[in-house]
């Protein structure tokens, strides 16, 4: 298969949907020689923040000289971003070759009367195969959804299991209470591994504690950073780890108040890894934190007016976005562009954020079958905010926003990561004019 054919094949896999459980991925990886068993993992589950924590941890490990794989979803710019080594996406040539091999294994399963693997199972197996054959020292792995029955949870060689912020999302699959969702997420904890958790609601933390005890796993919960100096271009803080190591004046370039919390979680993960044979010096830690970049997370794309994109797509992420908006942009005039998927709690996202906007533009995320139509979203927004406009395309939404905004105003686009890559391209072309 060439690259276009590979993408067509991936698109055709969508008919198999989302099927929680490990039986299919177990069989698929078995037919590929169980590549995951030759790898070591940092495994990250959570509702929000897991992508940013993955970015921090993997960048620090890269800066420490380790060949570091990372597996992420969703992607922003192109399909190859899903699978990276030391921050470099898998090549189109490699993804075609590996997909051919995985496709053959899938076909053999069907021929034997078994179910065809889902898209995420296919991609996960391909990632394991690529990381093994590339000789990765360690892989930083992000769950797709949940944890316990997520395809990534096939692994048994986890060094550190990481729980980022847990809140309500994907309830149709994970359960309708925080305890049920936390139980699914905590399923990534393996026997005798280290467990690092962000600060959680008591109900979630108790579930995590119980799971760690059952697995004889060592659990620690992050503490608060101190001497924090927030900023849009750089943020600085001091942190004393749960083991008593103090790091003064650590710096990150990711904006948003919550990114300091994600960074300290990553610092703790790196300290736990040091007990597993992955030594990282303080100089390498500082370099990794500073070099970490993560597309679509309260990211400034242009200035005068400020244009910021953020992947806030559920209630908890919307609260964090609102917190950052209040903190950074008090007394600023703000214009929103919102595009969101139908299966998200979009009304709660609107309820948390509407009060800070002067104008709201709604869009339909393109090329996504789960997209909520802009008109339907606008009708919901009107229940909260009077100044709503429907845009026929992302290009139109950007032009509207710039017509509405003065140089000192702020444009914020959020709601779904799925369209932010396209939005970034549109902004890039506009800047070049």
pLDDT in tens, 210-268: 999 999 999 999 999 999 999 988 999 999 999 999 999 999 999 888 899 999 999 99
DSSP 90: P
Most confident of 131-135, 167-171, 309-313, 419-423: 131-135
Cα separation of 127 and 119, whole Å?
12
Contact between 161 and 217 (Cβ < 8 Å) = yes
The predicted-structure confidence for 173-184, as pLDDT tens digits, reads as follows: 676 788 999 999
> Residue 400: its pLDDT value, please?
96
CATH of domain 3-291: 3.40.1190.10
Q: pLDDT value at position 175?
A: 67
**Tokens standing for 310?**
């953020």
Q: What is the pTM of this model?
A: 0.88
CB atoms within 10 A of CB 156: 12
Q: What is the DSSP string of 262-281?
A: HHHHHHHHHHHHHTTT----
DSSP percent split of the chain into helix, strand, coil, nearest 5 = 45, 20, 35
| Mean pLDDT, rounded, for 13-36 | 94
How would you class 215 by CB atoms within 10 Å of its CB: exposed for 0-12, middle for 13-18, buried for 19 or more? middle
Nearest-angstrom CA–CA distance, 107 and 125:
14
- The CATH class of the 299-432 domain is alpha beta
Please say whether the beta carbons of 38 and 105 come within 8 A: no
| Closest C-alpha to 305, from 342, 332, 330 | 332
In this predicted model, what pLDDT tens digit does every residue of 293-343 receive, in sequence order?
988 888 899 999 999 999 888 888 899 899 999 989 989 999 999 999 998
pLDDT for res 390: 97
Q: Could you state, in order of their start, the residue ranges of all structural domains in the chain?
A: 3-291, 299-432
pLDDT tens-digit map of 269-289: 999 999 999 999 999 999 999
419 contacts 339 by C-beta, under 8 angstroms: yes
pLDDT at 170: 56
Domains 3-291 and 299-432 share a fold: no
Pairing between strand 218-221 and 235-240?
unpaired
Q: What is the mean pLDDT of the chain?
A: 93
């Amino acid at each position: 298969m060439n690259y276009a054919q590979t993408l067509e094949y991936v698109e055709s896999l969508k008919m198999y949907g989302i099927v929680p459980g490990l039986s299919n991925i177990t069989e698929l990886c078995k037919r590929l020689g169980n590549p995951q068993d030759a790898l070591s993992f940092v495994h990250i589950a959570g509702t929000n923040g897991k992508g940013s924590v993955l970015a921090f941890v993997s960048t620090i490990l890269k800066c420490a000289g380790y060949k570091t794989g990372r597996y992420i979803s969703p992607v922003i710019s192109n399909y190859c971003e899903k699978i990276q080594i030391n921050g470099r996406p898998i090549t189109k040539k490699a993804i075609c070759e590996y997909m051919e091999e995985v496709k053959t294994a899938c076909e053999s399963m069907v021929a034997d009367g078994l179910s065809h693997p889902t898209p995420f199972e296919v991609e996960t197996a391909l990632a394991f195969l690529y990381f093994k054959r590339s000789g990765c020292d360690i892989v930083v792995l992000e769950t797709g959804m949940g944890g316990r029955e997520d395809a990534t949870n096939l692994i048994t060689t986890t060094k550190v299991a990481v729980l980022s912020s847990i809140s309500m999302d994907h309830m149709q699959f994970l359960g309708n209470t925080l305890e049920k969702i936390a139980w699914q997420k905590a399923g990534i904890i393996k026997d005798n591994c280290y467990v690092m958790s962000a600060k959680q609601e008591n109900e979630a933390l108790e579930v995590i504690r119980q799971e760690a005890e059952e697995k004889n796993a060592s659990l620690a919960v992050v503490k608060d950073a101190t001497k924090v100096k927030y900023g849009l271009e750089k943020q600085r803080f001091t942190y004393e780890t749960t083991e008593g190591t103090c790091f003064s004046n650590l710096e990150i370039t990711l904006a948003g108040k919550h990114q300091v919390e994600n960074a300290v979680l990553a610092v703790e993960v790196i300290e736990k890894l040091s007990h597993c044979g992955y030594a990282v010096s303080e100089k390498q830690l500082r370099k990794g934190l500073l070099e970490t970049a993560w597309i679509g997370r309260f990211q400034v794309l242009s200035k005068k007016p400020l244009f910021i994109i953020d992947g806030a797509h559920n209630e908890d992420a919307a609260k964090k976005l609102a917190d950052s908006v209040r903190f950074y942009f008090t007394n600023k005039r703000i214009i929103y562009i919102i595009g969101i998927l139908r299966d998200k709690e979009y009304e709660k996202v609107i309820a948390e954020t509407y009060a800070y906007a002067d104008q709201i533009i709604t869009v339909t995320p393109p090329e996504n079958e789960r997209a909520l139509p802009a008109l339907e979203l606008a009708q919901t927004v009107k229940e909260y905010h009077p100044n709503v406009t429907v845009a026929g395309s992302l290009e139109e939404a950007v032009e509207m926003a710039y017509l509405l905004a003065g140089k000192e105003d702020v444009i914020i686009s959020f709601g779904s990561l799925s369209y932010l890559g396209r939005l970034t391209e549109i902004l890039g072309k506009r800047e070049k004019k």
